[in-house]
Amino acid sequence: MKKSYPRFLEYELPPSEEASALFHIVSAPYEKTVSYGKGTANGPAAIISASQRLETFDCVSVPGACGIFTHKPLDCRGSDSAALGRISDKVGQIASRGAIPVVLGGEHTVTVASAEAIKKAHGDDFGVIQFDAHTDLRDSYQGSRFSHGCVMRRIFSDFGIPIFQIGIRSLSEEEAVFRINNRIGSMDAGSFAFSARPELVLPDDFPKKVFVTVDVDALDPSIMPATGTPEPGGLGWHQLMACLEAISLTRDVLGFDVVELAPIKGFHFPDFTAARLVYNFMGMIIRSRFVKNKQGGVE
């Protein structure tokens, strides 16, 4: 019987068994606190739809060969706690089996649920690497502590998870002070301005296991216009790919998400860009495992 929802790369890849697939796609169309442009609830479906136009060969390997299982889209209606709880439960089920959850948002708040789930499944010894135009370190924004502008504050302060920020180019004075006082590591957008392929070096004491969250507004609006809070001066495509590759080679990626895509009707390029980002990172993760196995593991 045909499922009532599409799979990631459904037109090109045979169905994967849930128990054996390495990557698990979780659609989390959560949108409750967007503060400028709207439409992130449509992001997951747009990414999966655009994935049907991807080639299975990513110019280096075939990431889909390791299995990609697409779960039924989550119900993100109801209260914040109920919706986030459903996301956390699903991500936790996947992570506890040793598979890699790939969460498609939705606004950035979904990352709070994913971080909580990874913490329960893998323990405290992991960090979150954030690609974003904004620090998202406000303690509260527009009356909500679970605003998309507070997601990294919740992860860092409430869960005690180390974070590292990449691509930042907009923050409040409160957030700037918080970053300094808490010695939060970063490689802000200005660091990328004059380098086509920047060298990303994470702190030596940053955890070896990581969850990676990619807010699509980390990319420059010329590449990613379909997002609610665009900022000029963002990362280029190859800059982002170079950073993701460096992370995959030096860290063990427990899971990742791509959030804040707000599709523009009739304009497919941003949706395809997000789908390509997802698939490329899958390939990097798989290939890095081969390299690490040959080298005897990550030092």
Q: What pLDDT digit, counting tens, does each position of 241-287 carry?
A: 999 999 999 999 999 999 999 999 999 999 999 999 999 999 999 99
CB 202 within 8 A of CB 187: no
Q: What is the pLDDT of residues 207-229, one digit of tens each?
A: 999 999 999 999 999 999 999 89
235-241 average pLDDT score? 95
**pLDDT at 3 (0 to 100):** 61
Pick the CATH number of 23-295 from 3.10.20.30, 3.40.800.10, 3.40.50.720, 3.20.20.70: 3.40.800.10
Q: Would you say residue 295 has pLDDT above 80?
A: no
DSSP sequence for 31-67: -S---SS--GGGHHHHHHHHHTTS-S--SS--GGGG-
pLDDT above 90 covers what percent of the chain? 84
pLDDT score of 181 more than 50: yes
Q: Is 83 exposed, middle or buried (0-12, 13-18, 19+ CB in 10 A)?
A: buried
The sign one gets for the Cα dihedral 143, 146, 148, 153 is: positive
What does the pLDDT look like over 15-73, one tens digit per residue? 999 999 999 999 999 998 776 668 999 999 999 999 999 999 999 999 999 999 999 99
| Domain definitions of the chain by residue range | 23-295
Q: Which helix (H) or strand (E) holds 205?
A: none
- Closest to 259 measured CA to CA, from 72, 28, 101, 36: 28
